[in-house]
A and B are shown apart, each in its own frame.
Chain A
Amino acid sequence: MIVGEQKPFAEIVEMLKGFQKILVLGCGTCVTVCFAGGAKEVEILSSLIRMDRKKKGEPVEIVEKTLVRQCDPEYLQELSGSIGEYDAVLSMACGVGVNFLADTYANTVFLPALNTKFMGVTEEHGVWSERCAGCGQCILDMTGGLCPIARCSKGLFNGPCGGSVNGKCEISKDVDCVWQLIYDRLKGLNRLDKLDEIFPIKDWSASPHGGPRKIVREDLKV
């Protein structure tokens, strides 16, 4: 899932300065699962904004709503009849949702309540970590299913480097050296020969370096 984290409250307050009627808009997918921008977080953040305004004696009218997703047009259409009523929309989706709202409604101010952090997993309740960097050309068949782009601090293809100590990365003793994990895992699978294979230079044009990416499936287009 896409993992997000709410921005510092002071930053949100600053963004909302001068706006009186605000839609706080949650997203029911990834950011609900990582407790950053679902219906519950919409309730909490709305309450905090109201309290902040009340304390300052500044009026605010907040409408709370959570869409199934903010990354599909059919759900954004739910706002079409009411979007013009708001001075600003504070989206609690990831950056994708904020972008798509802005793409869809030209005359509305959209503001991000979250910092979109990474594509990752729930390690345990309340702990999330990165697993995929979305490079566009997956090499996990070569590396035992563990990604050196997302999980090696240097993004090395030929690790471990000299900073790997007792299986940990030099940036922090809390960060595993993924190349140590890759080696140990391939050894356990009796597939260490995968590390001897010479593979072509990675095509980074499939990553964000190649410009904004798009997939078109003619068979699915309506």
Chain B
Amino acid sequence: MDIIHILRALEDGADGVYVAGCLEGECHFQTGNLKAKKRVQYVKGLLRDLGIEPERVEMYNMSAAQGGRFAEVAREMVDRIKKIGPSPLRGERGE
């Protein structure tokens, strides 16, 4: 997971981005999820530099068997973003 993927989504007007990784210690790519977590933190720093709420990006961990948790995280993130409001990078018509 390269940070440019998160940045591109934000640049294109996404109000928020979350990265869903495997549970810590259970990543197919060994430490891939831990590296992704650090990169999400790095992007939060970049957003602070830009004056954009760092809470718009987040890292979550869940296993492929945790469908319920997946839905819960999605709802949690949507609620969070709704509270923050639309991204300042969206077009004038909210596109």
Task: Give chain A's interface residues, CB within 8 Å of chain B.
Answer: 8-10, 40, 43-44, 47-48, 50-52, 54-55
Please give the number of chain B residues whose Cβ is less than 8 angstroms from any Cβ of chain A in the complex: 14
The chain B residue sitting closest to A49, CB to CB, is B50
What distance in Å separates the Cβ of A43 from its nearest Cβ neighbour in chain B? 5
Residues of A contacting B4 in the complex (Cβ-Cβ under 8 angstroms): 40, 43-44, 47
A48 engages B7 (CB within 8 Å): yes
9 A-B pairs with the lowest CB-CB distances in the bound complex, closest first: A9-B49, A47-B7, A55-B88, A43-B4, A54-B89, A47-B11, A51-B11, A52-B50, A51-B89
Name the residue among A47, A48, A51 with the largest chain B CB count within 10 angstroms: A51
- Contact of A55 with B52 at beta-carbon distance under 8 Å, contacts A40-B2, A43-B4, A44-B3 already known: yes
The chain A residue sitting closest to B91, CB to CB, is: A54
Which residue numbers of B lie inside 8 Å of A, CB to CB?
2-4, 7-8, 10-11, 46, 49-52, 88-89
Out of A40, A50, A51, which one reaches B52, CB within 8 Å? A51
Q: Could you jot down 19 A-B contacts, CB within 8 Å? A: A8-B49, A9-B46, A40-B2, A43-B4, A44-B3, A44-B4, A44-B46, A47-B4, A48-B7, A48-B50, A50-B11, A51-B7, A51-B52, A52-B50, A54-B11, A54-B89, A55-B51, A55-B52, A55-B89
List B contacts of A51 (CB < 8 A): 7, 10-11, 50, 52, 89
